[in-house]
Structure 1
Amino acid sequence: MALFQRASKGKGDAGKDALENKHKSESNIGEKMWKKVSQEYRLLEYHACPEYMKDNEFILSYYRVEFSVQQALSSLFKLHNETLNVWTHLLGFLLFLVLTVFTAYELGELPAFSRCIHGLEYNQSEHCILQSMKVDVRNMMAPMLTRTPRWPFFVFMCGSMFCLLASAVCHLLTCHSEQLAVFLMRVDYAGIGTMIATSFYPPIYYVFQCDPFWQMIYLGTISCMGIITLWVLFAPSLQNGKYRPFRALLFMSMGAFGVIPGIHAAMEHWNEPLCGRMLGYEALMAGCYVLGTLIYVARIPERWKPGLFDLAGHSHSVFHILVIAGAYAHYRAALLFLEWRDSKSCT
């Protein structure tokens, strides 16, 4: 019996030792990576950072502090806790730049003949052939001669590119100094507000093009909301990380305004063939933005395991990816709004 107890105890001790060795091994790997990266260029842990950089207490290490502008720019190609934050939105900016150039070229072309040919009406009357041909040609050429304005679509594209580029620059250069960090964070907030406001321009302009009163009301309202939001957020007292939920609430309130013109538009055009696809893309956009904002505010998953997600997988980089996904969904919706308005006149 004693022999059995000693054997069981030996097995239990061996299991504990194996578990402890595993934890030590994981800890050693993290320490080795930290030492290796820190030796390449100076990185600090959270407790050693100045107060203005303490935005997320669950990101424990890999902080760049008081870098020169040249060092900050060169860190674009190095490993730190902002690497993915910079690259996600920098690549997003390049994606939207390519989409803007490509779409500008495509929209610059005359409408395809296949889009116009359905407007032809064949009149079999013996006495009206010539007159019928004149009417048919005029109907066919009408879309080519009266194009829908493209500027609301490109306002959204420019707003998105400004937001993505401002975000990438902010995450890259805020490590220089507190003064520059405060300025760049304001530019970042301006980019977010601009992107949200300009996202309303294509759907509202094209859906309510035949109803100028509501078009002006909705566009004017969201523009004023954007200006007021930015004016509030530019207050120096709101730059601190503890106001993260308040900032998110302001931006979400701007997005929530879209429910009003959205319901109005759905009631007016519910029977349109493209309505379902448009609403699907817009719902996907809203879902990405809301989910991303909730993850950003809750600071998930780094809250569950502080230090594990310092380099990758933390809430801010996930938020960035969802912002790009939502913006791309809205890009697809905006193309549908434009296509629909091109094929449907107000008369």
Structure 2
Amino acid sequence: ICESNLQHFLWQTACMRLRRMETVLSKPLVDCPPPPKSDFQRPPSVRRLGSAEEVPELRRRPFICHYYRLEPPSARHLWCSHNELGNIWTHIWAAVAVFAQLMYWVWNQDLNGNSAELVYRLGVFAYFISCICTFCVSVQYHWRLCSTDADFLRWMCLDQSACFVVIMIGFFAGVPMGFACFPVLQIIYTISSFSTCLLMAVAIFFIPKERWEIIAGVIIAGTVVVYFIPAVHWLWVCETGRRAIGTKFVVQILLTGVAAIFYTKYVPERFAPGKFDLWWNSHQIWHVAIFLSMAMYGDCLVQVNRMIQTGTLCG
């Protein structure tokens, strides 16, 4: 009896639902207004890369014609193809390599020594740290080359300042330590090079940041006074140092000169504009050459510091 009552109830319920649906469907749907028109407009697609004429003049590189980024910096710019990709990754690998060089030197250091030796060691450590920081700043600068004017100028200023700091710390780490056996020359080159660094800092501060080529010229000219002249003189007067690192030091000096030539003369793209937009242009060659130069100079500092610790530099 219960089952028959339950079936009867279900049938009645189903019939009532069908009657309601027939009633609703039989009425005209006059009360339903049409959907409103949408004012949404799809934004036009932004091209990712463009030519030199499509970017501000300050972002253009001489003789580099295409593959400029037209969109703000993003994470995909670290792997998508554009004309700053090689510049970014050469400095990423340079920072990793110099960090490994620093860790190897720290791992093999003997912490004993007098105060002068500890100061020289601190100079070597500061040089490696400044190199790593400079490479990291340069990565940010090349990555943000397609950002707003204020952001771009900020990082360009930081990049130029970091290069100046590396030169200054490289001098303070190398010249006093290298001329430790020649107190008079040590004082002369310390005073003259410090004065040159001060003049460079004043010039860089007052030169408009948009005139990057003048700032680069000041840094290169200051490097000749602060670095090359003392280096050549040291090779001449320090026989033990010349025997130990003379060949490596000369190669390092030549690499720095070659890097400056590629950087200032835009070789090879000046001979084939548009052919070296992505790879093997002068700025990438400059990055590789200057990294090798900085790494070799760091190795020279390590060897001279070791000679001071063992007492063989002045022997």
Kindly report structure 1 stretches of 4+ aligned residues shifted beyond 4 Å. Answer: 210-214
Q: Which residue of 2 aligns with 1:278?
A: 245
Structure 1 residue 336: deviation in Å?
Answer: 1.4
Give the whole-Å Cα distance in 1 for the aligned partners of 2:259 and 2:266. Answer: 10
The structure-2 alpha-carbon separation of the partners of 1:278 and 1:309, relative to structure 1 and needing over 3 Å to count, comes to same
Structure 1 residue 297: deviation in Å?
Answer: 1.1
TM-score w.r.t. the length of structure 1 is: 0.69
Q: Which residue of 2 aligns with 1:343?
A: 310
Structure 1 residue 255: deviation in Å?
Answer: 2.3
| Correspondent of 2:238 among 269, 273, 287 | 269
Structure 1 residue 225: deviation in Å?
Answer: 2.6
Matching of residue 253 in structure 1 with residue 253 in structure 2: no
Structure 1 residue 219: deviation in Å?
Answer: 3.3
Matching of residue 62 in structure 1 with residue 67 in structure 2: yes
Q: Which residue of 2 aligns with 1:333?
A: 300
Structure 1 residue 181: deviation in Å?
Answer: 0.9
Unaligned runs of 5+ in 1: 1-38, 110-143
**Structure (1 or 2) with the larger CA radius of gyration:** 2
- Count of residues paired in the alignment: 266
| Percent identity between the two aligned chains | 19
The structure-2 alpha-carbon separation of the partners of 1:228 and 1:276, relative to structure 1 and needing over 3 Å to count, comes to same
TM-score w.r.t. the length of structure 2 is: 0.76
Q: Does the CA-based 8 Å contact 2:124-2:173 persist in structure 1? A: yes
Give the whole-Å Cα distance in 2 for the aligned partners of 1:290 and 1:255. Answer: 10
The structure-2 alpha-carbon separation of the partners of 1:255 and 1:278, relative to structure 1 and needing over 3 Å to count, comes to farther
Structure 1 residue 60: deviation in Å?
Answer: 0.8
Q: Does the CA-based 8 Å contact 1:204-1:218 persist in structure 2? A: yes
Matching of residue 218 in structure 1 with residue 189 in structure 2: yes
Matching of residue 107 in structure 1 with residue 109 in structure 2: yes
| Correspondent of 2:135 among 139, 157, 164 | 164
Q: Which residue of 1 aligns with 2:26?
A: none
Give the partner amino acid of 1:204: V
Q: Which residue of 1 aligns with 2:50?
A: 44
Q: Which structure 2 residues correspond to residues 26-45 of structure 1 after superposition, within 5 A?
A: 42-45=48-51
Structure 1 residue 205: deviation in Å?
Answer: 2.4
Q: Which residue of 2 aligns with 1:97?
A: 99
Q: Which structure 2 residues correspond to residues 42-191 of structure 1 after superposition, within 5 A?
A: 42-54=48-60, 56-67=61-72, 69=73, 71=74, 73-108=75-110, 146=114, 148-149=117-118, 150-191=121-162
The structure-2 alpha-carbon separation of the partners of 1:210 and 1:57, relative to structure 1 and needing over 3 Å to count, comes to closer
Q: Which residue of 2 aligns with 1:28?
A: none
Give the whole-Å Cα distance in 1 for the aligned partners of 2:228 and 2:198. Answer: 20
Give the whole-Å Cα distance in 2 for the aligned partners of 1:302 and 1:237. Answer: 27
Structure 1 residue 87: deviation in Å?
Answer: 0.5
Give the partner amino acid of 1:61: H
Q: Does the CA-based 8 Å contact 1:96-1:160 persist in structure 2? A: yes
Q: Which residue of 1 aligns with 2:175?
A: 204
Offset from partner CA, 1:117-159 (integer Å, 9 cap, x none):
xxxxxxxxxxxxxxxxxxxxxxxxxxx5547221011121122
The structure-2 alpha-carbon separation of the partners of 1:219 and 1:328, relative to structure 1 and needing over 3 Å to count, comes to same
Q: Does the CA-based 8 Å contact 1:194-1:226 persist in structure 2? A: no
Structure 1 residue 197: deviation in Å?
Answer: 1.7
Structure 1 residue 65: deviation in Å?
Answer: 3.2
Give the whole-Å Cα distance in 2 for the aligned partners of 1:216 and 1:64. Answer: 50
Offset from partner CA, 1:186-209 (integer Å, 9 cap, x none):
111111111122222333222233
Give the whole-Å Cα distance in 1 for the aligned partners of 2:217 and 2:243. Answer: 29
Unaligned runs of 5+ in 2: 1-44
